[in-house]
């Protein structure tokens, strides 16, 4: 028995050593441009792309940006576009797959779990603090769509975040769940609270079924085109179901585990955004975006240096990948981060 215990301990030590060695080797062999990396979040592996500036020097002391994907999003979509573009502007950037999405570990798959996603972002911040060339006192966030809400929630409770910017921000999920604009609007009835409660009933039934049988009930995160859900969801489908625009990437799943509806709506960052006082915030929106309301509301509540920047003629999803709009957003973001981090 003692021999088996010693063997188990030795195996555990070997595993830890190999894990840290592999990560160390990865970080010791970084190159300009995109680098495939991974890190742990609550003992599960997170897959990420680390982008380094063209003149990267591991002995430098550079500002860094953690880029947070939209809900259900993965690192190869819009988050990767912004991460790569900002690296070209001189920042060290990271785009990653949250747990249960893309190439990262975690089950059930496609869990839009707000608190879990915030924990992933905190671990991404920890990882960035270990990257050669990163100044740990100059780390910022960029949150895209729902990633904006998770990024702000993190910034309120993590002192390592020095500045935050959002693009097409979806921010207050508790409010959104009562807005009548969800993917499930045609299944709902009554006022906002009644609709919210109906969605909580859907989540509760899915949770009970998973507990009893292990079966996961999936619902649409992004309804397919032609679902008659209105212009916003048609535009969402034009991106996420479109291989030409990069939304329909091979590791992307446009579904959501119904069990996570309640944990998604749990997060309402603007309710306590005052706790972020002293951290600069920039919110970029399209002038035609139906979701611009969320960013305007958040900026109005923020304390300290804050700015709302509108890009004329852009809808919500235009800022994901359309060059004429992304160019403007990246230029504004670069100015903001250079001002607040350098």
More confident residue, 24 or 105: 105
**In the prediction, which pLDDT does 182 show?**
84
- Quick: pLDDT tens for 181-215: 888 778 889 999 999 999 999 999 999 999 999 99
pLDDT at residue 7 tops 70 = no
| Confidence bin at 6 (pLDDT 50/70/90) | low
Q: Identify any residues that bridge with 282 across adjacent strands, giving them in sequence order.
A: 165, 307
pLDDT at residue 1 tops 70 = no
**In the prediction, which pLDDT does 8 show?**
53
Q: What percentage of the chain carries pLDDT values higher than 70?
A: 93
**In the prediction, which pLDDT does 342 show?**
80
| Confidence bin at 19 (pLDDT 50/70/90) | very low
Pick 31-180+267-341's CATH classification: 3.20.20.70, 3.40.50.11270, 3.40.50.1820, 3.40.50.300: 3.40.50.1820
d(CA 292, CA 157): 25
d(CA 261, CA 80): 26
**In the prediction, which pLDDT does 14 show?**
43
- Quick: pLDDT tens for 274-324: 999 999 999 999 999 999 999 999 999 999 999 999 999 999 999 999 999
Identify the residue whose tokens are 């959002």.
166
The lowest-confidence range among 10-14, 218-222, 304-308 is: 10-14
- Quick: pLDDT tens for 99-120: 999 999 999 999 999 999 999 9
Q: Identify any residues that bridge with 94 across adjacent strands, giving them in sequence order.
A: 50, 66
Q: What is the mean pLDDT of the chain?
A: 92
Tell me what the mean pLDDT of segment 35-64 comes to: 96
d(CA 319, CA 245): 12
Angle between helices 114-128 and 146-157 (to 10 degrees): 70
């Amino acid at each position: 028995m003692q021999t088996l215990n010693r063997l188990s301990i030795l195996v555990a030590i070997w595993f830890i050593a190999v894990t840290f060695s592999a990560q160390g080797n990865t970080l010791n062999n970084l190159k300009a441009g995109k680098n495939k990396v991974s890190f742990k979040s609550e003992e599960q592996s997170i897959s990420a792309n680390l982008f380094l500036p063209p003149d990267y020097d591991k002995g430098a002391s550079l500002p860094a940006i953690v880029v947070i994907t939209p809900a259900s999003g993965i690192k190869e979509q819009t988050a990767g576009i912004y991460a790569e573009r900002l690296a070209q502007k001189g920042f060290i950037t990271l785009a990653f797959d949250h747990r249960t999405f893309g190439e990262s570990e975690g089950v059930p798959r496609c869990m839009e779990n707000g608190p879990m996603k915030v924990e992933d972002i905190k671990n991404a911040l920890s990882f960035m603090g270990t990257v050669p060339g990163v100044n740990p006192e100059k780390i910022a966030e960029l949150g895209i769509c729902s990633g904006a809400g998770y990024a702000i929630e993190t910034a309120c409770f993590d002192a390592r975040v020095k500045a935050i910017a959002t693009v097409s921000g979806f921010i207050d999920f508790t409010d959104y769940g009562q807005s009548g604009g969800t993917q499930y609007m045609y299944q709902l009835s009554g006022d906002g609270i009644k609709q919210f409660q109906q969605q909580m009933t859907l989540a509760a039934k899915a949770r009970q079924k998973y507990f009893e049988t292990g079966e996961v009930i999936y619902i649409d995160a992004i309804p397919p085109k032609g679902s008659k859900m209105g212009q916003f969801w048609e535009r969402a489908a034009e991106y996420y179901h479109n291989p030409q625009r990069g939304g329909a990437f091979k590791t992307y799943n446009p579904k959501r585990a119904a069990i996570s509806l309640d944990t998604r709506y749990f997060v309402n960052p603007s309710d306590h955004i005052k706790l972020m006082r002293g951290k600069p915030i920039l919110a970029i929106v399209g002038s035609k975006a139906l979701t611009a309301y969320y960013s305007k509301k958040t900026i109005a509540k923020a304390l300290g240096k804050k700015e709302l920047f509108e890009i004329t003629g852009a809808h919500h999803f235009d800022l994901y990948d359309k060059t004429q709009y992304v160019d403007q957003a990246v230029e504004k973001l670069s100015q903001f981060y250079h001002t607040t981090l350098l």
